[in-house]
Chains A and B, each alone.
Chain A
């Protein structure tokens, strides 16, 4: 069992966490003016990086969403930081 660091609760078992996508994949502004390509990219495309990956995670027990940088090949956690209320990366 790997322990992930929640910025609010500290080290907790991996099963309490949910992967929520790439950090910085922000919803496109301007609803009707957004092109199909931009929507497709926002909705479906993933960086899916091998190695250091900057991701959004949710700690299901405290419901807090935060940014975690980890190595997807070694599972090493590099950093874990809270997100600002607006969803901007800290």
Chain B
């Protein structure tokens, strides 16, 4: 049986007619009791299980999902990973995540295809140039690689971009993070799932958590169609559906669920080898390894659980794309989809114990959860194993809404939505 993925095992399996590959993960029936349960088998949930097993030596862990693993926002995002955030708290958290991504393929023995091709954020006016300089300075002080680049450099990086002075949204400069990039989103979920499974984590798919077991004011497990599953530590990593689970646990969250849409074009030859974001058009775009242009933008302004999105938001994004790259006007769109994102008032995630003791939250990542997967997993694992915050997750506790210490990245780093 071939367990380890390597060039050698590829050659070996080539000679063995590919018969020896082992299933990447099991599909076990749930036990009646675990040491820890994580609800939600997306990137964050699977990463949490992996780090619980790896860093905290736990082996009796279950990840439970109502659908299939990686079928929510992990499989629906536009795969951008960057850490150029404004506030020190965010910079530290996202940079920790980016660093984990840099070593993730090796760590998981699974190629997540992390390609550090850089992210270019355009700047459109003199006033914005000053703000951009301030942002870049703040990022550099926080130890994040970030540069203010001029038009000549932009021309080298994205020759296709409409940089003429007559462009509808004229470009004066850009913020560049060279270490940022994209990864294969499914591979991140699959890689964590396979690595967690090898550490004896049970991944239970198609099993919806319908309620919590609450005894003596503490969360003691979950109720599912396959029966009660008990655990003294329960983690919640269900993104856009966090409010539904919170309602079952008896509290409300500072979260509104919106649809975030994305789409891909038909595949074409390589034309764009970086990620480009234009705040004026609120559109971002990259080209996948298959050649498709991966296009995203702002959220639909209507709170929704529909996982599809409406046309007005798509129209804004696509007209923005054509302002940026007029030459893409002939491209045909191949697929369009939507995910339910959990947006907080300050566009920063919520990591911490919930008002129900024994239930731990990892939610509120909004439109940027994919880049946070490794860090989110490490933070939630630490909380679930020890009951105490990691230094990096402490500022993101739910109590910031009571104390007023918000980490307002919507204003800070110019998130498009």
Contacts and interface: CB of A to CB of B under 8 A. Distances in A.
Given A36-B402, A40-B401, A48 B306 contact: no
A1 B310 contact: yes
Given A1-B311, A14-B312, A37-B402, A46 B302 contact: no
Contact of A46 (B254, B301, B305, B402): B254
A75 B241 contact: no
Contacts of B281: none
Given A40-B402, A45-B253, A48-B253, A72 B311 contact: no
B248 to A, nearest CB: 12
Contacts of A75: 302, 304, 306, 310
Contacts of A8: none
Nearest to A45: B252
Interface size class of A (residues with CB under 8 A): 20 to 34
A25 to B, nearest CB: 11
Nearest to B399: A40
A18 B301 contact: yes
Given A46-B254, A47-B243, A50-B244, A14 B402 contact: no
Nearest to A2: B310
Contacts of A44: 254, 345, 401
A41 B301 CA distance: 23
A36 to B, nearest CB: 6
Contacts of B348: none
A61 interface: no
Interface string B269-285: 00000000000000000
B347 interface: no
B326 interface: no
A18 to B, nearest CB: 7
Interface string A4-28: 0000000001110111000000000
B256 A46 contact: yes
Interface string A28-39: 000000001100
Contacts of A36: 402
B306 to A, nearest CB: 6
A84 interface: no
B312 A50 contact: no
B255 A73 contact: no
A53 interface: yes
A46 B253 contact: yes
A37 B302 CA distance: 28
A48 B310 contact: no
B343 to A, nearest CB: 10
B252 A14 contact: no
A29 B307 CA distance: 38
Interface string B229-259: 0000000000001011001000011111100
A71 B241 CA distance: 15
A73 B345 CA distance: 22
Contacts of A15: 301, 312
A74 B306 contact: yes
A37 B251 CA distance: 12
Nearest to B246: A48
Contacts of B227: none
Given A44-B345, A73-B305, A1 B312 contact: yes
A72 B301 contact: no
Interface of A: 1-2, 13-15, 17-19, 36-37, 40-41, 43-50, 53, 55, 72-75
What 6 A-B pairs have minimum CB-CB distances, sorted nearest first? Answer: A48-B243, A44-B254, A45-B252, A44-B401, A40-B402, A73-B305
Given A1-B312, A40-B402, 7 more contacts: A37-B402, A43-B401, A45-B254, A46-B254, A50-B241, A50-B244, A75-B310
